[in-house]
Structure 1
Amino acid sequence: MSKSFLALVLLETPATPDMVALSEAIRARHPELPMEIEGGSAGSARQGSPLIRCGDELIAVMAMPAPAPADPGLWSRASTIWPQAEAVAARHRGHLIISVLGQNQRPLPRARLTTAVIGALIATMPQCCAVVWNGKVARSADLWRDLSSRSFASFPDYPSSLWIDILPFRSETGIGAVTMGLSAFAEREIQFETHKLPLGTLLKKVDGLSVYLVEHGAVVKDGDTFGGDARERFSVRHKNSDRFGGLPVFFCSDGSA
């Protein structure tokens, strides 16, 4: 499965990135990543080329002198862990669009590369105030600058919290959590409901399964179980969520749902 991600970097004021400065920042932050400015010379990049090449991939960085499309639900979700999210979204005045071109890689390598480029952009542009990942997850620019340094970390230390939201909720039998953004890696989200686990443990279970699916793709089959040991097993069913508008999910439970 191949997948392109579309990321928006929100700007407090409209600005055009300096592609030479961006390429230098990528080299400094990720020296293991082969990269060059597409189009030849540094001078041509300064004149407005929107492309850079990292390894075998082309990345487009396009400046838009207007706010990103409004999405109140996105910013409401983001505000649960980032209280300033809605205010930042309301005051931004420009944005950048970042995407890896082509269809040659699995989702994880593309996510890594896109994340590395975004982190370098934020490091070179003080106007950056937020990032919207694939229309699903919004985070602060400061968090992106810090966590994107782990773009090429080994499993399980990916900066997956930049790519996937984990949202708790109350269920009829206890508590639950649902992901937002995992389907780009594994075709479905996770919906986990329990009457046995405390919230912190539940969130860790969902995070661990999310990272596993980011690494391996949609390998968990309908009817599989997972858990830390033979005494702690949770069932997984493929279904369309009754709670979240028919969203395709890996429905997980400890026998309570």
Structure 2
Amino acid sequence: MKFIRLKGNLEQRNLDNRLSYEPDIIEFYLSERDLGDQELIRDRIRQLHDRGVKPYLHHPPTYRGTYLDILSENPDARRFYHESCETLARICEEERAKCVVHAHYVHTASCGNVTRERTALLREEIRKIMAYSRDAFVWEDSTEGLFSYGCNPYLIEDLIEPLALPLTVDVSHTFIGYRGDNERLRDILERTAPYAQYYHLVDSMGLVHDSLQLGLGKIDWRMVKPLVLGKDFIFEITLSGDHSDCTPMVESARYFADIEAEERVAAK
């Protein structure tokens, strides 16, 4: 099947499940604890290279149970953010991988007081992280706050463009940020195309972070497909249980492939 591009964790059982589908890309979702075993991270990346699978990492979202924010006033959280990015930059450069990173998550300080001045402050903090590696990181948008397309009118012109910032565009995050507006989603996909290297393809009803299988939400995937083809992406769907079974991601790949097949038939 085409477009088998999946997400998982470092557990061998989890990885074996993904590899059984012969994927093109796997993204490893890391925890704070995972950074305590850097050799395991390297081993999993090497397993992917041995199978011809392109590896991505995802920076840990939390520190001591609290979501990360690059502008956090907690000095320990700021220290962890920088040290973990420096570590992952080194791993990515040495092991030929890339790492998805969030400037902030929801319910953090960066989700309030969205101004041009704070956007500039965020830009300079991101610049510091980019000093660890220009090529390792791809920056993912949030559903709200300073790094949300729907909430911050200054994000592209005052932050992304000046830094020529490599992006991960999460289609569902953008859709939710615009309260389910497919035309606004199209506009962002077109405007960020020069900087987007990677996409998270996830469906949504456009109201909350629901992470649905493709076809179960309101995103117009026939519109999205030609705007993301030719670049890297995964199907990042919420899984049940211990997350070892990635069937909803595989079914999303099938849905995406079927759209392409339908369009080829219609073009004849």
Q: Under a length normalisation based on structure 2, what TM-score does the superposition of the two structures give?
A: 0.27
Q: Under a length normalisation based on structure 1, what TM-score does the superposition of the two structures give?
A: 0.27
The structure with the greater share of residues assigned to helix is 2
The structure with the greater share of residues assigned to strand is 1
